[in-house]
Structure 1
Amino acid sequence: MEIRTVGTSALMIEVDDPLAWFAALDAERTAGRLDVTDIVPGAHTVLLDGVSSVTSLAATLRSWPPPSEVPAAADDLDIPVAFDGPDLGQVATLVGASEEAVVATLTSVAFRVAFGGFAPGFAYLSGLPWSVPRLDSPRPRVPAGSVALAAEFAGIYPTASPGGWQLVGRTDTVLFDIDRTPPALLTPGRTVRFVAA
């Protein structure tokens, strides 16, 4: 584990399994044994913000054993997807399979929300069995609800925005609603399955 100070009240830890560390740290915070405001997982890091003593917490973290596994999420979420994206054929070519086989694979995977980013409600879903390159040139506008692949992640655009991921389908599921608690539907650790609509 590598620990870096970020500003005056945050620590960034670089770890092998950020989602397991997020779950373990969040459990400690919930139990009142860890005094931090925010715990934010990333692809290879976890940020702890609102730390009262970064020196003390860094020393504590260095003595912790790494978490053994990511605990099972409390609830799975099925997301209906129409697999008619403009890049589905290109993805099939890239992975050496038919479009039908790509859809079958995507609907058989139990994705895990690894972390959020890019836009409110956007979640990076781990579990993709291939690494799919981004587009050479990003689209100026990707419609909200677009189901997309890039690198080792799947994701769903919560709002219309520019984007360079390969679009394989679409969903009407609302991913971010400021009046919902929490506003983001896809939170770290949650299991997500795509269901062909």
Structure 2
Amino acid sequence: MEIRTVGTSALLIEVDDPLAWFAALEAERSAGRLDAIDIVPGARTVLLDGVASAAALAATLRGWPPPTSAVVAEEDLDIPVTFDGPDLGGVAALVGLSTEAVVEALTGATFRVAFGGFAPGFAYLSGLPWSVPRLDNPRPRVPAGSVALAAEFAGIYPTASPGGWQLVGRTDTVLFDLDRTPPALLTPGRTVRFVAVA
């Protein structure tokens, strides 16, 4: 583990399992033993922001054993998906399967929200059965609700935006709503399953 201070009231820790660290730190905060305002997991890091003493917290964290569980207390979420994306056939060719087998693999997988980013409500979902490349030429506009794959992640575009991920389907599920608490539906650690619809 490597720990860096960020400004005067934040720490960035580089760890092997950010989601496990996020779950452990969130549990400590919930129990009143950690004073961070925000805990934000990334692909290889966890940011703790709004801490009273970055130096004191860094010293405490250096004495912690690595956490063993990435369990976060959130109910599983099923997301209905229509698998008719323009890149579905290309993904099937890349992984050496039929389009039907790709859909079966995606609906049979259990995904976990590893971290958020790119846009409000966008979640990087780990658990993809294969790795697929991004598009060579990103699209100038990807419709909201597009279910997409890139590298080892799946994701769903919460709003229309440019994007270079492989589009395999679409959903009507609202991923980001300022009137909801929290606004993002897909929060770190939550498990997600895709359910195929006609």
TM bucket (normalised to shorter chain) is: over 0.9
Compute the RMSD of aligned alpha carbons.
Answer: 0.8
Counterpart secondary structure, 1:58: helix
Counterpart secondary structure, 2:46: strand
* Alignment map for 1:9-158 (pairs within 5 Å): 9-71=9-71, 73-158=73-158
- Which runs of 5 or more residues in structure 2 are unaligned? none
Shift of 1:74: 3.1
Letter in 2 for 1:59: A
- Percent same amino acid among aligned pairs? 84
Task: Report if the CA contact (8 A) 2:23-2:69 is conserved.
Answer: no
User: Within the alignment, does 1:162 sit opposite 2:166 as a pair?
Assistant: no
Shift of 1:5: 1.0
- 1:20-41: CA deviation from partner (whole Å, max 9, x where unpaired): 1000000100111001110000
Shift of 1:79: 0.3
- Which runs of 5 or more residues in structure 1 are unaligned? none
Task: Report if the CA contact (8 A) 1:112-1:125 is conserved.
Answer: yes
Counterpart secondary structure, 1:167: strand
Task: Report if the CA contact (8 A) 1:73-1:191 is conserved.
Answer: no
Task: Report if the CA contact (8 A) 1:14-1:46 is conserved.
Answer: yes
Counterpart secondary structure, 1:181: coil
Q: How many residues align?
A: 197
Q: TM-score, normalised by structure 1?
A: 0.98
Shift of 1:72: 5.4
- 1:49-79: CA deviation from partner (whole Å, max 9, x where unpaired): 0111111000000000111121254311000
